[in-house]
Structure formats: structure tokens, C-alpha cells
Amino acid sequence: RILSQLKYMEANPECVLLGTWAQIMESDKLVDRFHFHPIDEITLRYQLLFNNPFVHSSVLLRRSALLQVGGYTTDPERQPPEDFELWSRLSRIGSIANIGEVLLTYREVPGSMSRSGPTPFKQRLMKICSENIATATQLAIDDSSIQSIVKLTHGDIENLHRKPDFTRIKKVLMMAIDNLGNDDVPITLREDAANKVEIMQAAWMVRKTPLMGLINKVRPVKYIAKRVFSLMRTIKKAK
């Protein structure tokens, strides 16, 4: 793994952060699950708007860049997730990538902080996501659409006190995508952003129903909710 990463870093001097794919181990057993994070830079930067697309134990960092940004944060209000926080700052000064090979075994621990999801972890995660979207769009971090995107993405809908402007939310996401790579942006990113907005709308519609609890816990239910929203929108247009 290290040899492969070293060769990549030497061939790509602009790269400051390089991860790899990983196979998941549950306790002491390898399972047929993997972290296949994106390998192209534009998609990685897009995913940084919402979450962490790197396996922490797989990363190789360029020392000069690490020193430039000051290393891992020691601010208790920004950690954990100190890895995501550092990747976000590094991404602003250089190139980022993943090697598309399974070069690591990643052990999952059921009681880990990132999996059990205590409120402080989620709040700090959302703060970093807000910063990343603000950086990509050149909007203020407290912009209402940015805050709506982050809260709806991470299941903090109870702290949204008025209906989000979904038309503007979509424009903000497309603005962020445009600033990631101009004409080089894959159409799939725009499609993914549009799908995310539909999921956000569905979550808002069912926020006061028992279904909301499932939406926050079970990923497939999000897509059920999205389909319900799409069907209701079609019926409304037909009328």
C-alpha cells in the first residue's frame, strides 16, 4: 500500500492527500463489504460537501502541506471528526485522490463514536460541511440554504423552523458543483445533487410523521420517501 501511494505522490506532486479503497472487517471477521470511495478529484470534492470520502487509516499526507495547514486540530469544538476537519483544510491548498485498489483492511467497531452518533459529533460534522459548502460557493457559512442543506442531509430537521427554499437550495448545490471543475464536472454529479434535493423535500414533507424516524435511520427509506414525493408532485401537476 505505502509503495503504491508513494509512487502516486511522486508522480503527482500537487497531491496533498491520498487514500485507498478498503475491505471491512467486523470485529475479527472479514466480510464482503468495502469502502469504494471515488478516485477522481471532482467527485471527491463534491462528496466533501456532505461527508468524509476517505478511509482515515489509509491516507498518506504530504508533509509540507500538513505543516502548512497546521496538522490535526486541537480545538475541542472541531474534533471529532478531526480527520474530516483536516481533509477539508488540506483540500483547499492542493489536490486530493484515492487509489482505486483495496489496499487496507478497515475494522468496524459497533460502539465507535462515528457509528453511535452522539450529538456533539454530528453537530461538529455539520459545522465542517457548512464550511465546505460555503468555501465552494463563496456564500456566508450561515446562509439559510447552506444550513438547510446540512441539516436535511444529516437528519437535524427538527432544528429547521421554517420551510426551506428548495429552488434556491438546488441553485446553491449547482453553484458549488460549477466551482469544483467548470466544464469537467460529470453530469452524474448534477443528477446526484438533484436527487438529494428531492430527498430533502421528501424529508421535509414527512417530518411530523412516524416515517421521519425511519428516514433518519434507514437509508433505503429515504428513496421510498423520494418516490412518494415524486408521485405526489406528478398527481398535483396532472390536476
Q: How many angstroms separate the Cα of 46 from the Cα of each of 4, 99, 106?
A: 25, 17, 23
At which residue does the C-alpha cell 460555503 appear? 134
- Angstrom distance (rounded) from CA 236 to CA 92: 44
Residue 201 and residue 69: Cα distance in Å, rounded?
Answer: 37
Neighbours of 73 (CB within 10 A): 16
Which three cell numbers, joined as nine digits, stand for 161? 423552523
Residue 23's SS3 state is strand
pLDDT digit string (tens) for the chain, length 239 residues: 999 999 999 999 999 999 999 999 998 899 999 999 999 999 999 999 999 999 999 999 999 999 999 999 999 999 999 999 999 999 999 999 999 999 999 998 876 555 454 568 999 999 999 999 999 999 999 999 999 999 999 989 989 989 999 999 999 999 999 998 766 788 999 999 999 999 999 889 888 776 666 655 555 445 555 555 555 555 555 55
- Strands 60-61 vs 95-108: parallel, antiparallel or unpaired: unpaired
Taking alpha carbons only, the member of 67, 38, 62 closest to residue 181 is: 38
